[in-house]
Structures are given as C-alpha cells and as structure tokens.
Chains A and B, each alone.
Chain A
Amino acid sequence: MEEKKGLLSIFTNGIIKENPTFRLLLGMCPSLAVTTMAKNGLGMGAAATFVLVGSNLVISLIRKIVPDKVRIPVFITVIAGFTTIVQLLLAGFLPELNKQLGIYIPLIVVNCIIFARAEMFAQKNGPVAAVIDGLGMGAGFTLAITLIGSVREILGAGTWMGIPVTAKLFDPAVLFILPPGGFLVMGFLIAAFNKLADRKKSETETQEETGCAAGCPGCSKAMHGGEA
C-alpha cells in the first residue's frame, strides 16, 4: 500500500507539481517548434515519452555497473539509441507525422527533460520507479505541448486536431501558428499555471527563476562534471 502510493505520487508529480514544461521549463525548443497543431504536440509528446521511459529504465538497470567517469557518454548513447529507434519506427509506421516533426525528432536527444530525469531520478532509483517517473514526466510533457498545440491551432487555423471548430465564430489569426504565436501562447500558459499554482499553495516565486536558467545549464553542468 505504502509502495503503491509512492508510485502514484511519482506519476502525478510529473503531471502537475513538476510539470516539465510549465513548471520546470525544460524542453522548450520542441514545445514551441512543433506545436502548430494539436496532433503534432501529441505525436511529439508520445515520442518523447517513449524515449524517456526507455532511457530511464535502461539507465536505472545499469546504474550500478556504470563507472562515474563514463556516466555521461553512456547516458548520451542510451538516449540517442532510443531516439533513433523512435525515429525509425515513426518513419516506418507513421511517415506523415514523421515528416511533420522533421528534425525535432532526432533533437529529442538534446531535450533537457530526458537528460535531467536520467541524471536526477533514474540514476538514483530502481527500475520500476524510474519507469513510472518516465511515464509521469512524459504524460506531463505530452499534456503540456498538446495544450499549447490546441490553443495555437484553434486560434491560428480555426481547427482542432484537423476538425474545423471556429468557422462561424471568428477568423483565425495566422500569427498564432507562426513563430511569434508560439512564444506568446507559451508565455500566457506559463503565467496561467503560475496563477493556478499560486492559488493552490502560497508557494512564492522560488520556482520561478529555476526555469531554463537552472534547468538546461543545470543538467549540462552535471554532464560536464561527469566527463572532466
């Protein structure tokens, strides 16, 4: 019972409290780049989740036999391996989506979320917990970028998942599916999340400045330390 509750909280942790996109502000590039359509966000999220779960599992399994010295190259290799598998599978079975996501699929390798989870969680926990963590983080990321994709698609193209929804209400503003729209929607959604989190807990701005500033560089620093 105790154990189960632990796993559940690991899972939900990634979706809400430590939502990688809105709270930890990790993996911004794909969150902005591929979210011109809700469908793309969903696809990207699923692909990243696969890589997250896979690399978390493998890294957790081999965590005890990998010497600290080569930890980082081993992590990179494992993550790159899973990324390539996703890339090949997408090209084989979902060529349409693969074309849409383009180079952002191989770029999952440098997605900070994955490296950060390997370094901060999988490395220190057993395989079951690591997989659950991967699933939770993946779900959080997927939800977040599908949400961004939905907002942008509805406002910018007047459709959702390809279905026209606003035909009679207003003319879509193309700007939202162009690059500036990505930044704008992202900014407003993070602000909304901050407001929500604020209301729930009177947690102050401690979280705010972590962001990319502490996120990516944080994990890069870890990489650096490992190799030097």
Chain B
Amino acid sequence: MKELFAILIGAIFVENFVLSKFLGICPFLGVSKKTSTAVGMSGAVVFVMVLSQAVTWLVNHYLLKPNSLEYLQTIAFILTIASLVQLVEIVLKKMIPSLYKALGVYLPLITTNCAVLGSALLFVERDYTFIEAVVFGFAAGLGFTLALILFSGVRERLETCDIPKAFKGMPITLVAASLVSIAFMGFASLIIP
C-alpha cells in the first residue's frame, strides 16, 4: 500500500511527466492555451493511460517476456496503444456518446503523446507489478493534468502581456514553463522513503 502511495505521489509531483521528465510536451504546449481544452485533453490522457498501462503490461508479461521477444517491445507497445486508442474511440462513440463528445477530439492526439508510450517503457524498466503499473499510469496522467491546467492559467494571463516580438508565441511560453518547472522542483524533497 505504501509502495503504491509512493508511486502515486512520486508520479504526480516529484517526477512530473511534463515538467521533469519532458514527456507529453507537445500536447502540453499545444493544448494549454485555454483551460477548457486543457481539461478535456487531460481527461482523455488519464483515461487512455490507465487502459494502456493495463493492456501493455499484459502484452509484455504474457506475450513478450515468456517468448524472450523483448526486442519487439517498442513495436508491440506502439501498435497496442494505437489500436487501443482507436478501439476506445469506437466504443465511446457507440456506448457513451456524451463522454465521446467531451473527449473525442483529443483521443487521436494521444497515440503520438510520448507520455503514454513513455510510461509503458518506464514500467518495464522499473519492473512494476500489474497494480503498480496501472497506478503509475493513473498518477502520471494526473501529473500531466496538474501541469496542463496550472499552465493554462499562466498562459491565459500571458495573452494580455506586452511581449517582445521575437518572444511572442512559443518562446515566452517555454520561458513560462521553465518557471513553473522551477516551482515543481520544490517537490523534489517530497519523497517517501
């Protein structure tokens, strides 16, 4: 239980995917302009990450490992994630149209979100159990959400600022991200021994 809690807190704050591991930067910079889109994207990411952690863990544990096909990991994971995202989309569209409406537009962006593949590769590296891997995926998704929503607030304010021309757009966004990232470094001492 303590282990899981450590993974949870660790993945949300200490090793925040976006701000300290640089995973999922593209959606972080791309979709964080407005808080409402940030919320939608985050929901979709958390949802897909939990699912994909579960499925890729099973693929790795029952298909790749027993047959010593570890070298096919990358290819197996990315194809699994791509099909999973597709499947989620179809199922949501048919079964829960309201949820599909909320998350639908963000789903296709997730296949190329390196946070999803990244967390799958990390559970292999860290030798997580099934439960740990799923909790890790959930927490990493929450960490992504936290960064995205916090940052969308920062960016909404930036819009109204007088910024030197060369810094307009992405550069000032990155400088702001740097400051948010410094704030997150404060969590570094927050580790459960």
Contacts and interface: CB of A to CB of B under 8 A. Distances in A.
Contact of A216 (B109, B166, B171): B109
A211 B174 CA distance: 12
Interface in B145-193: 164-175, 177-179, 181-182, 184-185
Given A73-B82, A216-B109, A223-B112, A194 B117 contact: no
B20 to A, nearest CB: 5
Given A87-B74, A88-B71, A212-B26, A198 B166 contact: yes
B92 interface: no
A120 interface: no
A81 B72 CA distance: 9
A110 B117 CA distance: 8
Contact of A179 (B22, B78, B172): B22
Contacts of A84: 71-75
A32 to B, nearest CB: 4
Chain B interface size band reads 35 or more
Nearest to A224: B108
Given A77-B79, A81-B75, A195-B166, A29 B22 contact: yes
SS class of chain A's interface: helix, strand, loop or mixed?
helix
Contact of B20 (A102, A179, A213): A179
A227 to B, nearest CB: 6
A3 interface: no
Contacts of B58: none
Contacts of A208: 168-170
B64 interface: no
Interface stretch (A42-50, A61-69, A136-144, A180-188): A180-188
A27 B168 CA distance: 20
Contacts of A28: 22, 25-26, 29
Given A80-B74, A80-B79, A190-B174, A223 B108 contact: yes
A216 B174 contact: no
A103 to B, nearest CB: 4
Interface of B: 19-27, 29-31, 33, 71-75, 78-79, 82, 86, 108-114, 117-118, 121-122, 125, 164-175, 177-179, 181-182, 184-185
Interface of A: 25, 28-30, 32-33, 72-73, 76-77, 80-81, 83-84, 87-88, 102-103, 106-107, 109-112, 115, 175, 178-184, 186-188, 190-192, 194-195, 198, 205, 208-209, 211-213, 215-217, 219-221, 223-224, 227
Interchain residue pairs A-B with the least CB separation, the first 3: A187-B174, A224-B108, A183-B178
